[in-house]
Amino acid sequence: MSRRPPEWLAEKMATGVGVVPVLGSSNLIISGETPRAQIFEGNQALALLEASHQEILLGTDDHRPVFAVSVDEGQAAEAVAMTGGAAEFVDLRQVGPFLPPADAHILAHARGMVYWHSRHGFCGVCGSPTESKHSGHERKCVNPDCAISHFPRTDPAIIVLVYRTDIPGGACLLGRHARWPFGMYSTLAGFVEPGETLEQAVSREVFEEAGIETTNVNYLASQPWPFPSSLMLGFHAEATSFDINIDDEELSDCRWFTRDDLRGMKEWLDAKDDEFRLPRRDSISRWLIQQWFDAE
Ligand SMILES: [Zn+2]
Q: Do domains 6-119 and 155-294 have the same CATH topology?
A: yes
How far apart are the C-alpha atoms of 108 and 26, rounded to whole Å?
Answer: 10
Determine if residue 19 is left, alpha or beta; phi over 0 gives left, psi from -120 to 50 gives alpha, anything else beta. beta
Task: Give residue 3's pLDDT.
Answer: 55
The angle subtended at Cα 291 by Cα 289 and Cα 296, nearest 5°, is 105
Task: Give residue 10's pLDDT.
Answer: 67
How far apart are the C-alpha atoms of 146 and 140, rounded to whole Å?
Answer: 9
Query: Burial code of 165-179, b = ≥16 C-beta within 10 A, e = fewer?
Result: eeeeebbbbbbbeee
Q: How far is the CA of 133 from the centre of ligand 1 (A)?
A: 15
Q: Which amino acid is at 175?
A: G
Q: How far is the CA of 138 from the centre of ligand 1 (A)?
A: 13
- Other C-beta atoms within 10 Å of 67: how many? 27
Any residues with CB less than 8 A from the CB of 44 and at least 6 apart, and which?
19, 82
Q: How far is the CA of 156 from the centre of ligand 1 (A)?
A: 26
Domain residue ranges in the chain? 6-119, 155-294
Task: Give residue 9's pLDDT.
Answer: 62
pTM: 0.82
Q: How far is the CA of 49 from the centre of ligand 1 (A)?
A: 28
Consecutive 10-residue averages of pLDDT for the chain (296 residues): 58 80 94 91 88 85 88 94 94 84 91 93 97 94 97 95 96 91 89 96 97 98 86 97 92 94 80 78 91 92
Q: How far is the CA of 76 from the centre of ligand 1 (A)?
A: 32
How far apart are the C-alpha atoms of 64 and 116, rounded to whole Å?
Answer: 24
How far apart are the C-alpha atoms of 141 and 148, rounded to whole Å?
Answer: 5
How far apart are the C-alpha atoms of 263 and 287, rounded to whole Å?
Answer: 15
Task: Give residue 128's pLDDT.
Answer: 98
Task: Give residue 257's pLDDT.
Answer: 96
Give, for 233, the enclosing helix (H) or strand (E): strand 230-239
**Phi then psi for 120, rounded to 5 degrees?**
-130, 40
Q: How far is the CA of 150 from the centre of ligand 1 (A)?
A: 9
Q: How far is the CA of 121 from the centre of ligand 1 (A)?
A: 11
User: 155-294: CATH homologous superfamily?
Assistant: Nucleoside Triphosphate Pyrophosphohydrolase (3.90.79.10)
6-119: which CATH topology?
A: Nucleoside Triphosphate Pyrophosphohydrolase (3.90.79)
